[in-house]
Structure 1
């Protein structure tokens, strides 16, 4: 006989404050931003909302990048859409592990800063 154990769904919130100093390499931008990302461990999705102010121009792209620590760069893993600044996307088991380990960051791109004007490392709220 075997017993199935239901996995407990968990909603985990991550936040960050984005600055030019956090970009690798740093920018001289005075722009700032904030982001909140919610991981749904049962549905295997992430939902985000972010803001950016005082950018050098229009936002051309915004992504969640990883895996990388605060002093490293990595390719985008989730396109967060510069048009809406909110959204939801699926996430793999490996990405869940990397996100929980603090290895993802949000990067906002502009024409002046195509590699990213502001960045913030996502950290789980305690």
Structure 2
């Protein structure tokens, strides 16, 4: 192998394995009253899909909900918490309609928590101010 070919192969390997080429990660949360802590009796359902670009720490989300028992008051990502645990809100989300989307940039600690499955999404309503629907964010592989 010529010196130029060896150098080109080494550069290609270094570039391909660098963090700049980290793959976008996907997460999903199925929203239900039963996932709340404590569970709500809501028959509402929904879902949220989140993508994370580890290089830029940017997340984007799209979600929906139907059947809330009360008017939606606020929505948040919460963490760090495992399923069944409570945590403080870390990122507010505008979800005033049954379909919603948005994006934000996280700090390194928040990225790690999300990657470790320690974030959940919560919709609060007038009837259930502590939370009507919740979904733990799990990585989609």
Q: TM-score, normalised by structure 2?
A: 0.82
- 5 Å-filtered alignment, 1:1-126, equals 6-7=18-19, 8-83=21-96, 85-126=100-141
Using the TM superposition, give the Cα deviation of residue 80 of structure 1 relative to its aligned residue in structure 2, in angstroms: 1.4
Give 4+ residue runs of structure 1 displaced > 6 Å after superposition.
Answer: none
Q: Count matched residues.
A: 124
Deviations 1:13-65 (CA, angstroms, capped at 9, x unpaired): 10011110100011011001101011111111111111110001321111000
Gaps of 5+ in 2: 1-10
Structure 1 or 2: more helix by fraction: 2
Gaps of 5+ in 1: none
Deviations 1:63-106 (CA, angstroms, capped at 9, x unpaired): 00000000100011111112362100110111111101100000
1:82 aligned counterpart, secondary structure = coil
Structure of larger gyration radius: 2
